[in-house]
Structure 1
Amino acid sequence: MERETPKKENTEFKDLPDVKIDPEKATSKHNSSKKTGIIIGLLVVLVVLFGAGYFMLQSRQQPAKPVEKEVQEEKEEKENKDTTPPEFVGMQDRIVVELNALDVDLTKYFLATDDGKQAEISITGDVNLAAEGEYPIVVTATDEAGNKTEHNVTVQVISENTMSTGIEFSCYVDGSIPLEAGTKQRLMANVIYFYYQDQNPEIQQKINELQIDVSQYPTQTTWHPSMQQTTPTV
């Protein structure tokens, strides 16, 4: 007959305290954690929304100042914009030049001013100094603002024979006259005489008033009344 082996009693967990779980408390803690998470989430969303709204508000307000400034500058620029064209001084409708005259610069026959300054002169049109005749040109005065004044002028090229009929040569604004090289030599030797215009007093006054530099106008072939007085033939 077999003996029954007595079962050993497990005493390993005897000394551990009993743990009881309260279902109500566990549910309460879970709900509290959930509420805390929702509140934190809402706070984060509010912070993000507030930051985004503040950034958009700043970005809208900041460009407003430059735009207002730009509009004001455009308004002032429009009010102060120079729209007055330059004016010619002592303008001539006809310029008389000797046939084959050397170093002729047609712009030197004209003077225009704007706001106390000398305006730039440009010429449009072709003049053949090697052929006697009349040539139409357009003289344009342009100021620093780009305003322009135009004037139609006729350039008359004459020979020595025509010159003897009493037609006056036109002078640059400084009073000097471009000539053919041989003509100047004979003139200086009192071999020939010719008719010429004197410097326009209005132009001379304006040159002195604005202190315009015309020292570079004369050339080796340019004659000026101050060199030698001549008596035109009758």
Structure 2
Amino acid sequence: MQDTSRRIPAEMVQAALRAAERLGKDVADVPVQAIAREAGVSRSTLLRRLGGSRQALDEAVRAAGVDPGGQRPVRERAIEAGAQLIGEHGLAVFTLETVAASAQCSVYSLYAAFGGRDELLRAIFETYSPILDVEKTISGPRADLRETVATIYRLLVEALDREPRVLPAMLAETLARPHEPVLQSLRRHFVPRMLAGLGQWFADEMAAGRIRTLPVPLLMHQLVGPVLLHFMTRPATGQVPGLDLPDTEETCAIFAEAFLRAVALP
């Protein structure tokens, strides 16, 4: 099917969006006459530039990242659809084409909203990982060390259990295909960010004499490694007959205590 949205002048798209905002309606519900008036042309001129049909204008508006029929923005739908695909099938099926089909938008509109596949994946990871909440926790007013560690564990476990299960799927892909280009792009973006966030928090705690002076990457591994391993394998471990696991809250408390015993100073 030929994409007619590219032939619509950008000023016509902007006129349609302005008219929709002024009238408080979806673009698809705005009369052609109102769009023509906003664009400063006659109705017949507008229709001639649209090729005689409203459909091309609606497609151009959709390609610009706004659904003409009142659906949620393309960005929101794409993040949700992409997360669902990753959670169910992994990164192997994650393409702009499959996300566009699932989100009911065009590939062109995904480029307009994100710029490309890597940027869309970053947005999905940021939405479904605990990174934003952890950054908020460690950048706020300084709390008790034990309480902060317990909060980080709760946020991590919530992200691992959240549906769609994006974080477990991405971790599994990282272990299976560590050299995958899209995963390398994620690492280049988020690892410096994590070092700036958690790394600064660790540096502050070391400077205050609350934890031992250790290399920051090793502190990060000590903090999240055991919890990640446990909760990634917990579904399978829980099926072993006669093996009783403590509940999630108690498990987090045990790991927090183990971390503090390893690195905290009196």
TM-score bin, normalised by smaller chain: under 0.3
Structure with bigger RCO (C-alpha 8 Å, 6+ apart):
1
Give the TM-score taking structure 2 as reference length: 0.20
Structure with more strand by fraction: 1
Q: Which has the larger radius of gyration?
A: 1
